[in-house]
Structure formats: structure tokens, C-alpha cells
Amino acid sequence: TLPFASVHAEEEKETTAPPLSARKFRFNQFASVVYELEPYMTPRDFLFSVMLEQVDRKLQKRVLTPREVNSMLLKKILGKSKMRAPMDAEETPADEAEGVNTTLQAYFFGKNGDLKLQFQDFNRFMEDLQAEVQEIEFLQFSRGMDTMRREDFAEWLLHYTNEEDNEVYWDNMRKKIPSGQSISFEEFKVFCLFTNNLEDFAFSMKMVTESNRPVGLAEFKRAVKIATGHELSDNVLDTVFKLFDMDGDNCLSQKEFMGVMTDRVLRGLKVQPQSGISGYWRCVKRETLKGAQEALGYDRCPI
């Protein structure tokens, strides 16, 4: 054999990129800027990655130069004021120009990295960020209205689940959830608080019922109260139970519900997005089923 053949094979092996994790894949998918060959997210990219399943990236990623980075504004991703703190070349020491802090590093520890982050400040940051995302999602699914229809709330619940598996949930919604009833933003926020405490809820469920047994309304309500200290509204409870009542016994399938809620919290990171030829045929199948249902006269909410 030729000696250079093995060398060439080794070089190819070394240059093979390792497979991306689900989180890294999603980050690269939504990041819109690149600096020194490294992708970065803007605050808008971050919000889109939280809200949307896919990004419609028709434009190329923007490549930043060192001059642009050094003159970039420090943007707040919290609140609606969109206040900006200038960070121009005059305020940035020359020895720091090469290592540019991220927005969060500068926000938490200052431009020079010499501040200390207190727990109260970080906790407030997380609460404000969650409140901002909740408001954006509520307005997205309520079509900008002050209240959300119960079928819109069901659509929000199922947004990050496997579309091939949730047809039974949509069938439950069409048959069981009456139209004309709405859910307020305050009711929505309390339910979001519950989804952020799923581990506590699962533990409290073990205290009030047997494992994997169908859950009654009173048991579910008591478990939520134990986990969060708040009570879900009757509108929200009724919607959840009618959506996840798999056999019509007015009980909730605990396993199915926890699976959907986990997907909801992970926001699409549990399973790698379907792309390429497999994603294409998946889309064809979904649209064919949707067209057949419309032809048969079904009135359903879009997924």
C-alpha cells in the first residue's frame, strides 16, 4: 500500500466533527451572529429559541468584526424599557478588547468582572425572565387578546409534543372542551408556575395517590397546592382533565400528562429535530392527514 494513503485517512478522521448535542444543535440553529468562527445569540434569538420550534433563516448569519464587537451596546434582555448601557472604545480598557464578555457576564458581574452576584439578584433575574417569556407566549397563542380561549391553551400545552402522538388529545379537545370560555393571563401564570415545579408535583402526587394510577380532580388539585402553594383555576383544571382523560372516566392519565409536561418544559430539546428526507416525509404525512380531516369537515385548531 502507498504510505500516504494511511496518512490521508488519519487526517480525515481527525477533521471529522463530533456529533452535536440537542442543545448545541438548537443554539446553532437560532444564533444569528458569528464572531471569530463562534456562533452567538442576540436577545431576540434567545427569545425565538424559547418560543418557536424552528427558525426561518433565509438570511446568512452576520459575521461581526472586532471593531463592531467593541462598539456594541450592552443590551438588557429583561423588561420592556430596552435601556442600553454604552460600552464604546473609550470605556473599554485596551487589555480587555481581546476578551469580550457576553451580555449576561457583564450584566451579572460588571464590565470588568469585579462585581459579585447575589442570590436575590439572580432570583429576581430568573423571575423577570420567566415573566417576560410567559407574557410573550400568552400573547402569541391568544392572538394578542387579553384572554386566551381554552382551545388556544390546549394548543399551547401540546406545542412541543410529538405531532403524530397528540391526535388523541386534539380529538378530546374537539369533543369535550366547550367553545366560548377563556383563560386569563393570571390563570396562565399560575399554571406556568406549576410547570416549573414538576418534580415537586410528582413527589406530592406520591403522597396523595398510588403511583401511575389515574388521578382524580380533587387529588390533582391538592397535589398542585402542595407543590406550588397556589390553586389552579376551574377553567384550567377542566381543560387539562378533559384533554388528558384517555378513557372517559373523568380521571387524568398521570403518565401521559407528565410526559407532555416534560416535553413542554424542555421546549423541543428532548428529541433531535427531524430534518432532511425523514423530516420531509414526516411533513408530507402530517399535511396529508390535515387535508383529509378538512375534507371530511373536521373543525380543529392548527398545530
Distances (CA, A) of 103 to 20, 71, 84, 96, 195: 24, 13, 11, 15, 28
- pLDDT value at residue 27: 82
pLDDT at 122: 84
- Max CA separation in the chain (angstroms): 77
pLDDT of residue 48: 75
How far, CA to CA in Å, does 231 sit from each of 131, 215, 217, 221, 243? 18, 16, 12, 7, 19
Mind listing the pLDDT tens digit of every residue in the chain (303 residues)?
A: 444 444 454 554 555 566 777 778 778 888 888 888 888 888 778 777 776 666 666 557 888 777 776 665 443 333 333 333 344 433 334 333 344 456 777 778 887 778 888 888 888 888 888 888 888 889 988 888 999 998 888 888 877 666 555 677 777 777 777 777 789 999 999 988 888 888 888 887 777 666 567 778 888 888 888 888 888 888 888 888 888 777 777 777 777 777 777 766 665 544 444 555 655 666 666 667 666 655 655 444 333
Predicted confidence at residue 87, as pLDDT, reads 41
- The pairing of beta strand 62-63 with beta strand 38-40: unpaired
Determine contact, residues 71/88, Cβ cutoff 8 Å. yes
What was the pLDDT predicted at 295?
60
pLDDT digits (tens, 9 = 90+) for 103-151: 777 778 887 778 888 888 888 888 888 888 888 889 988 888 999 998 8
Helix H or strand E segment including 164 = none
Helix axes 198-208, 217-228, angle to 10 degrees: 130
What pLDDT does 175 receive? Answer: 79
52-73 as b/e, with b when 16 or more CB fall inside 10 Å?
eeeeeeeeeeeebeeeebbebe
Of 264, 290, 246, the residue nearest 156 (C-alpha): 264
pTM comes to: 0.55
| The predicted structure's pLDDT at residue 185 | 93
What is the predicted pLDDT for the residue at 225? Answer: 86
pLDDT confidence of residue 188: 92
